[in-house]
Amino acid sequence: MSEEHEVQFLSYEEAVRLVAAIQEEEDVDDPDRRIFNVYNHQDKEICWFDYDEVMRDAGITGTDDAAKEKLTQYIMNHIPDWALDI
């Protein structure tokens, strides 16, 4: 029997303290796929997001400063609470 666990997200303030960088990168397992890796202040990867899913779910269509801010806001509001354990 498997127990489903609903993902809990950090508050925006907690995410700001934890996250040092969000980098768009190539997925090492699929070179045709882009991801956003999220790193902490010790340069450890704490989680990642699928590029296409984030862009779609956040409604981002451009690459200007407003789009980058929207991307950052979306990711920072979706950092899973288990990232604190990394």
Confidence band, pLDDT 50/70/90 cuts, at residue 5: confident
Question: Per-residue confidence at 4, pLDDT binned at 50, 70, 90?
Answer: low
Specify the amino acid at residue 1: M
Q: How far is CA 53 from CA 29, 33, 44, 49, 59, in A?
A: 17, 11, 23, 8, 10
Tell me the average pLDDT across 61-84. Answer: 96
What pLDDT is stored for residue 1 in this prediction?
Answer: 46
Cα first-last separation, the chain = 27
What's the average model confidence in pLDDT over 57-85? 96
